[in-house]
Amino acid sequence: MTLPLADIRVISVEQFGAGPWATLQFADLGAEVIKIEDPTTGGDVGRYVPPYQDGSDSLFFETFNRNKKSLSLDLRSDEGREVFHDLVRRADVVCSNLRGDLPDRLGLTYKHLGEINPRIVCCSLSGFGMTGPRASQGAYDYLLQGLAGWMMLTGGPDSPPTKSGLSLVDLSGGYVAALAAIAAVHAARRDGVGCDCDISLFDTALAELMYVGTWVATHGYTPPRWENSAHPSLVPFQNFKTSDGWIVVACAKEKFWRRLCRAFGRPGLASDPRFATFADRHRNREQLLPLLEEVFATRTTEEWVAVLTEAEVPVAPVNDVAAALEDPQAVARESVVEIEHPKLGVVRQIASPLRIGDKPRPLRRAPLFGEHTRSVLEALCEYDAERIDRLVAAGVVSDGASRDGAAVVTGTRNGDGPDGRRAESAAEL
């Protein structure tokens, strides 16, 4: 089977998390993703994120950039833009994760690139989008979890506002950008005309407020925070402490509640008028939960998981990450894969959840800095060796011959060019 996106070519001006996560979805589905990295700053800042970092390679970078190619190109120079335009002529999508005001200034929108390739899709993933009073502001996942109300929904009633343990705004924004870009490519091939995709992490975070957002916007609802990560309206649907750990129980249907009561040996609870329905249990949760907590504390996590699984009640242990990766389901589905890396050794990472067809999925390590500069320019732009050598000598491109110079690493960490000025071509939110 040919991979689903094997006929799509993506040029990405990206770094760090959200943008690379978006194009990773393309790469894992077979698209050719050519990652543009700035030769003056050492490329994607994710290359230098600790721990587990060696020169311009890190496990952080590996996570977001497998199956891609690296072309080191200075987009601020006239020659660099000429090279970039040659790439665009043979591409389907240009993805960027710059601040919302930068794609137009740097010529990365359809207004600029549609003249070069009428079918090109220009997908901008920024903190706040390309319009509005915050368009020129940078943003990061932490900030957006606070701004979009997520932190006030997370944690116990007496705890401070709390972020998710993962960068879910970045990851969600990446998925949204990938979906938008794929839809736009489909339309461009049908209609012969490309377009802009203006994707905002803030918009994404607001959209993921889901029904809570609808309740607040429609009725002025004030979302409470409950102990033990409890669901705001379904009871019981939360963590419970066992004699040696924690479990999650999710009675999202009335039949699960009745089964739980039987598994407890307390079938009468199901018909108790205080707890008979969703509404009853929600209204009387302060009476019900202590009863459940007392029972759950009498057995181990393993015992309760076995009992409730047998009773067909949705249940799971609260694992740490190591236990999650060793879960029998993860092992059976080969959810952890291994990739050999010339400097980092054997890299074990999470496989793509995009399982389409029954053929093996691509699994190539993330590129070294500038690793594919020469091969891409030769094959895609049809440049000869002499022209590429001139571009390397002028500093317009880098072929990765000196990937780990100290000055380059320092420049990238600061986000500044070698002269101390902010490098606007660096993909920043």
- How many residues are present in the chain? 429
pLDDT (tens digit per residue) in 79-103: 999 999 999 999 999 999 999 999 9
Q: Report the DSSP beta bridge partners of residue 94.
A: 11, 122
- Are 25 and 175 in contact by the 8 Å Cβ rule? The answer is yes
Residue 370 has pLDDT above 80, yes or no: yes
Three-state secondary structure call for residue 287: helix
pLDDT at position 136 over 90: yes
pLDDT of residue 415: 33
Q: What is the mean pLDDT of residues 319-325?
A: 96
**Dihedral-angle region of residue 318 (phi above 0 means left; psi in -120 to 50 means alpha; beta otherwise):** beta
pLDDT at site 427: 37
What are the CA-CA distances from residue 174 to residues 3, 43, 133, 246 (Å)?
20, 20, 23, 32
Task: State the architecture of 246-317 in CATH terms.
Answer: 2-Layer Sandwich (3.30)
pLDDT at 169 over 90: yes
Residue type, 183: A
How do the residues of the chain divide into helix, strand and coil, expressed in percent and rounded to 5? 40, 15, 45
**Average pLDDT rounded to a whole number, residues 328-347:** 95
Mean pLDDT of the chain: 92
| Confidence band of 402 (pLDDT split at 50, 70, 90) | low
CA distance 370 to 295: 59
Nearest to 225 by CA among 288, 158, 148: 158
Domain positions in the chain: 9-208+362-414, 246-317
pLDDT at residue 166 is higher than 50: yes
Kindly state the DSSP code that residue 227 receives in the 8-state scheme: G
> Mean of the pLDDT values across residues 66-76?
97
- Is the pLDDT at 126 greater than 70? The verdict is yes
- From the candidates 85, 219, 231, 341, which is the catalytic residue? 231
Q: What is the mean pLDDT of residues 65-79?
A: 96
Closest CA to 264 of 310, 198, 216, 197: 310
Residue matched to tokens 């991979």? 3
> In a 3-state reduction of DSSP, which class is residue 384?
coil
What pLDDT shows up at residue 426?
Answer: 34
Euclidean distance between CA atoms 168 and 4, whole angstroms: 26
Instruction: Tell me the angle at which helices 18-28 and 168-191 cross, rounded to the nearest 10 degrees.
Output: 50
pLDDT of 305 higher than 60 = yes
Nearest CA to 275 out of 285, 260, 264 is that of 285
CA 121/CA 181 separation, integer angstroms: 7
Strands 9-13 and 315-317, sheet pairing:
unpaired
Say whether pLDDT at 429 is over 80: no
Residue 425, pLDDT > 70, answer no
**Residue 418 pLDDT exceeds 70:** no
Mean pLDDT along residues 161-169: 95
pLDDT at 362: 82
pLDDT tens per residue, range 39-67: 999 999 999 999 999 999 999 999 999 99
Respond yes or no: is residue 231 known to be catalytic.
yes
Mean pLDDT for the stretch of residues 395-412: 58
Domain 9-208+362-414 matching CATH 1.10.10.10: the answer reads no
Cα-Cα end-to-end distance for the chain? 37
| pTM recorded for the entire structure | 0.90
